[in-house]
Amino acid sequence: MEEPVQVGPWAAEAFVDYERLLKIFGAKPLTDAEVSHLERLAGGSHLMLRRRVFYSHRDLDVFLSMYEAGYRCALYTGRGPSGSTHLGHILPWIFTRWLQERLGLDLFFQMTDDEKFLHEERLELSESNSYAYENALDLIALGFNREKTHIIIDTEDIGYLYSIAVRIAKKITYSVQKATFGFDDSTNVGLIFYPVLQMAVSFLPTELYGEETYVLIPAGIDQDPYWRIARDLARSLGYPKPSQIHNKLLPGLGPEGKMSSSKPETAVYTTDPPEVGARKIMRAFTGGQPTVEMQKRLGGNPDRCSVYKMYEMIFEDDDGRLRERYLSCRSGALLCGDCKAELASRVQRFLREFQEKRERARDYVEMYLLRTKFEAPKRR
């Protein structure tokens, strides 16, 4: 019997069989034609597309056609503010920012302080709410456009979502929620309702603009279950189906698992002092051999290496250099210590520069909040 797949909104492995996942989820692999179409509209390419870090989708082709035909379009993504932001979280945001800039689109960004309060035993609501503001600094530090980026904080902006949410909720049974999210009789009822709010944001732009708006959601594949239901219901509620483009998950720095807040020692946080970030990289688990002699003789395995993945998915833009790194790891010419040291210095520089921008962002958070720009939609 095949092993069950541990990927969903509240659990995920790192070196996942992504092809199998697609079959189970029923999403489509991104084709060369779709990538070229997006690159043509964007007027350039992004490493996460070229390398299929973003590797699958639902109706990306429809979204791109609608965009090209001049229909109103928007981006939507989000964050569950349960603590500090790590490099895995910002991976989809880096790409989303590129999409925003290249396609000139508004971004709706949901901070689910309710979700994390309901899910994490340890968290008070005041804590997840204040993390929403802290995590917003990370988003802003990435350079999102102030006029075009609209942050929604669930517990504060519920008036924007509630009338959409109840109309969704009425169409979803408990058995569908159980089957989709793995809930059982011990799950608190807040968490059983919560997914409806994450779905609701995909319909919000249509309400706010007062016209059909085609929404693209760039996010990790772990978030896909929400969109399966949202897409099934969209037309019956009078909205276009939201499209998705899914990223693979950045592995943590330990022997297994995605980079995750539940394993803080294997995650590099944007708030880690730069030298701490560098030290975490130097201690990372790699795909290398146990000894230098064996590494030289047998070579390493970059395909199972958290350090190589970090280069591939975020930190090495140059395809030629990445290829060289891959081959010299395989051949044993590159030793893990050297490979890590180079990444550590890039991560250290990244954190230093990022943290300066992050601090400056404190002055601007207000300007990114949805409520400072839009009235709540009228109830339909």
Q: At 127, list the tokens.
A: 């804590």
Please, are residues 236 and 199 in contact by the beta-carbon 8 Å criterion? no
CB of 376 to ligand TYM, least distance (A): 18
Least distance (Å) from ligand TYM to the CB of residue 353?
Answer: 21
Whole-angstrom CA distances from 201 to 75, 94, 95, 226, 230 are 10, 20, 20, 11, 10
Q: Strand ranges (DSSP E) for 160-282?
A: 214-220, 243-247
The residue among 152 and 335 lying less far from ligand TYM, judged by its C-beta, is 152
Helices (H), 5-45: 18-25, 32-42
Query: Which CB atom, from 48 or from 335, has the smaller least distance to ligand TYM?
Result: 48
Dihedral pair phi/psi, residue 132, rounded to 5°: -60, -45
Q: Which is nearer to ligand TYM, 335 or 368 (CB)?
A: 368
Tell me the one-letter amino acid at 95.
F
Say how many residues make up the chain.
Answer: 380
Per the CB < 8 A criterion, the answer to whether 278 and 344 are in contact is: yes
If the CB atoms of residues 215 and 361 are measured against ligand TYM, the closer one turns out to be: 215
Cβ of residue 11: shortest distance to ligand TYM, in angstroms?
11
Shortest Å, Cβ 332 to ligand TYM: 29
Q: Do 96 and 106 form a contact (C-beta atoms < 8 A)?
A: no
Cβ burial 129-164 (10 Å sphere, 16+ → b, else e): bebbbbbbbbbbbbebeeebbbbbbbeebeebbbeb
Is the Cβ–Cβ distance between 103 and 70 less than 8 Å? no
Amino acid at 254: G
Shortest distance in whole angstroms from residue 261 CB to ligand TYM: 8
Smallest gap, in angstroms, from Cβ of residue 324 to ligand TYM?
25
Q: Which residues bind ligand TYM (CB under 6 A)?
A: 9, 76-80, 88-89, 91-92, 110, 112, 115, 198, 201, 217, 219-220, 222-223, 247, 249-250, 258-259
Residue with smaller CB distance to ligand TYM, 88 or 300: 88
Residue whose beta carbon is closest to ligand TYM: 220
For 179, residues 6+ apart whose C-beta sits below 8 A from its C-beta are: none
Nearest-approach distance from CB 211 to ligand TYM, in angstroms: 22
Helix axes 189-200, 224-234, angle to 10 degrees: 60
Minimum CB distance to ligand TYM smaller for 165 or for 259: 259
Q: How far is the CB of 346 from ligand TYM (least distance, A)?
A: 18
Q: Which is nearer to ligand TYM, 219 or 339 (CB)?
A: 219
Q: Name which of 237 and 298 has its Cβ closer to ligand TYM.
A: 237
> Which residue, 258 or 325, is less far from ligand TYM as judged by CB?
258
Select 193 or 330, whichever has its Cβ closest to ligand TYM.
193
Give me the least distance between CB of 317 and ligand TYM, in Å please.
Answer: 18
Would you put residue 127 in left (φ > 0), alpha (ψ -120 to 50) or beta? alpha
β pairing state of 54-58 and 243-247: antiparallel
Tokens of 148: 């075009």
Rounded least distance, CB 82 to ligand TYM, Å: 7
Of the candidates 163, 166, 126, 133, which has an alpha carbon nearest to the alpha carbon of residue 151?
Answer: 133
